[in-house]
Amino acid sequence: MDWTTESIDRLRALWAEGHSTAEIGRRMGVSKNAVVGKAHRLQLPARPSPIRRDPAAPRPVATGRRPTLPPLRAAMPAATPQRREEPRIVVEAAPPAPHPVAALPPKPVAVVRAFPRVSTKTCCWPLGEPGTESFRFCCDAAIPGKPYCAEHASLAYVRVKDRREDAA
C-alpha cells in the first residue's frame, strides 16, 4: 500500500467514522492488518479491543511473522538416525491413572507418553500426586521398547479384549 496523504486522510476519516478495520480495509482495498498497522503507527485513537492483554502477561510466543526458513546448511552428518517415526498405537489400553478413581471407563487413548521422560531407558510410571513435592516417576530400568519397568508395564498394559462394557 502506498500511503499517500490522500489515502491516509481517508483512513483517518473512515477510522473516525467508526468503521471496523476490516471494513476500512475493504473500502480502501487493503488488508485489515494494513489498516490496523497503519492506524497504530499513526496513533489513531484505539478502538475498544476485544482482547485482554495483561501488561505482565507471560510472553506467549513471539508473534509476528513466521520465522523465515532456517538457513538450511549442508546436510548434517547424521551418523545415527536414532529418532524414528512416532510409534503407532502399540498398547491395547491406555495406562491407568496413578490413582484409579472409582472405575473410569477405560478410554482407548493413543497417548502413551503424556509428558517427557528423563530418559527412554527409565520407567515413567508416575508415583504420588502430580503437582506435589513428592511426585516423581518410577525411574527404574524400563523394558526395552517400553516406557515402563516390568512391574509397571504389567499394570499399564491390559488386554483390550475381555473388556466388555455394554454393546453400544
Partner DNA sequence: CCCTGATTCGC
Partner DNA sequence: GCGAATCAGG
List contacts with DNA (CB under 7 A). 1, 3, 19-23, 30-34, 36-41, 46-53, 57, 60-68
Which of 28/139 has CB closer to DNA?
A: 28
Bridge pairing between strands 126-127 and 136-137: antiparallel
* CB 4, min distance to DNA, A: 9
Least distance (Å) between residue 142 CB and DNA: 34
Which of 49/132 has CB closer to DNA?
49
Helices marked H in the chain:
5-16, 21-28, 32-42, 150-156
Nearer to DNA, 11 or 123 (CB): 11
Q: Pick the closer one to DNA by CB: 65 or 73.
A: 65
CA dihedral 88, 93, 94, 96 (to 10 degrees): -160
Q: What are the C-alpha distances in Å from 125 to residues 83, 87, 130, 158?
A: 22, 19, 12, 15
Quick one: 28 or 112, whose CB is closer to DNA?
A: 28
**Rounded least distance, CB 66 to DNA, Å:** 4
Which residues fall within 8 angstroms of residue 28, CB to CB, at 6 or more apart? Answer: 1, 7, 10, 11, 14, 35
Q: How far is the CB of 98 from DNA (least distance, A)?
A: 30
| Length of the chain as a residue count | 168
Q: How far is the CB of 2 from DNA (least distance, A)?
A: 8
Separation of alpha carbons 123 and 52, rounded Å: 42
